[in-house]
Amino acid sequence: TSIGVVKESEPGEHRVAVVPAVIPRLRDLGCEVLVENDAGTGAFLPDSAYTEVGAVPVAGAELYERADVLACVRPPSGDQVPRMRRGQVLVGMLEPLADPDLFRALAERGVEAVSLDLLPRTLSRAQSMDALTSQASIAGYKAALVAADAYGRYFPMLMTAAGTAKPAQVLVLGVGVAGLSAIGTARRLGAQVTGYDIRPETRDEVHSMGARFLDLAGVSVGSGEGGYARALSESERDAQQEALQQRIGEFDVVITTALVPGRKPPLLVTREALKGMRPGSVVVDLAAGPRGGNVEGSEPDRSVLIADGVRLIGAGNLPSSMAPGASAAYARNIAALLAHLVRDGAPRLDLDDEILAATVVTSGGQVRIGGGAR
């Protein structure tokens, strides 16, 4: 079996799906590893680093022709799909819910696509493959650094000859993987941190990180399926926005990371609420994306100074901004998935397997998202 490492095509994407450190493991599976020329340069991994561990750098044309399995980070572009061939397996974070046309095109070409972002995260044997977690944890870390960088005062309490600086008050909304990582990072920088989430089990997690939990008066809590949050009703959402608006002025920095799988991000912080923050405050919206974010008016990769001197930052592709570390973690997730896929030297997409039943999104010419053919 040949595993082909794709050079990412999305502008600004510097990660690479496979790093040299995992190549011995892939070769132990009986696989040959082909790497598209310059695939790793965005993560400071020249072709020579791959050659040293026995992988073979090749031009794109050869890669798409020879590889049995293609490994990527982001969904393929419209230019990449026509280069793929029938029976070729594609593994990556393919975001199958974002662009249905892409999956029809992949199915029509006969590509067998496996999307790591649909991995059942509660399954313990899938943990080593959990790329959403590895990348969200990097995003949360970086979001705290972005916030600290934009904030015009110290995060820690500091006593100096020039006086005492008060610690920054940081609020993290949504304490899933990214939120917990942001809390930990802001704490390590010395801020006083408060976390908030609607899943009741997060209270203990927030406390265990040495942070406070924000109780919002009049807002109901509750979990949904598979350990994820449920979507709030309109009146619950209004109550939450209202309650947050009352409290947000207590904080210097707000980092938002709320998400309900398959939905557009919940709007937690309204324009009105932002007006209640002090000048010089900073808000980083990790959920900012094409479908909006957790903060009204945030856009990905955009930092704006809004009324009254509050800086609103829509996060862009934060894992890509840490491409070496993010690629190293992602490559371990991909290697674990490939170890699961490749049996006796060949990839097998056994749809009775719990992991593959959830993650195989095109197979036998059909799109099958969520376990059934469509």
**Binding positions for ligand NAD, rule: CB under 6 A:** 132, 135-136, 139, 173-179, 197-199, 202, 228-229, 232, 240, 257-260, 265-266, 268, 286-287, 315, 317-319
Q: Closer CB to ligand NAD, residue 161 or residue 217?
A: 217
Q: Which residue has the tokens 């593959």?
A: 356
Residue with the two structure tokens 């132990």: 28
- Residue number with the smallest Cβ distance to ligand NAD: 176
Dist. CA 168–CA 172, nearest whole Å: 13
Residue pair 89/112 in contact (Cβ under 8 Å)? The answer is yes
Nearer to ligand NAD, 154 or 228 (CB): 228
Cβ at position 104, least distance to ligand NAD in Å: 24
Q: What is the dihedral of CA 44, 49, 53, 58, to 10 degrees?
A: 100
Identity of the residue, 37 or 321, whose beta carbon is nearer to ligand NAD in the bound complex: 321
Give long-range contacts, CB 8 A cutoff, 24+ apart: 260-266. 260/224, 260/228, 260/229, 260/230, 260/231, 261/228, 262/97, 263/231, 264/291, 264/292, 265/289, 265/291, 265/292, 265/293, 265/294, 266/231, 266/232, 266/237, 266/294
Q: How far is the CB of 6 from ligand NAD (least distance, A)?
A: 20
Closest CB to ligand NAD among residues 92, 179: 179
Minimum CB separation of residue 333 from ligand NAD in Å reads: 14
Q: Which pair of tokens denotes residue 117?
A: 């972002």
Question: CB-wise, 60 or 293, nearer to ligand NAD?
Answer: 293
Alpha carbons within 13 angstroms on the beta-carbon side of residue 317 total 13
Closer to ligand NAD by CB, 19 or 229: give it. Answer: 229
At its nearest, how many Å lie between ligand NAD and the CB of residue 238? 12
Residue 76 C-beta: closest distance to ligand NAD, Å: 20
Shortest CB 209 distance to ligand NAD, Å: 14
Asked if 9 contacts 78 with a C-beta cutoff of 8 angstroms, the reply is no
CA-derived radius of gyration, the chain = 22
Q: Is 78 helix (H, G, I), strand (E, B) or coil?
A: coil
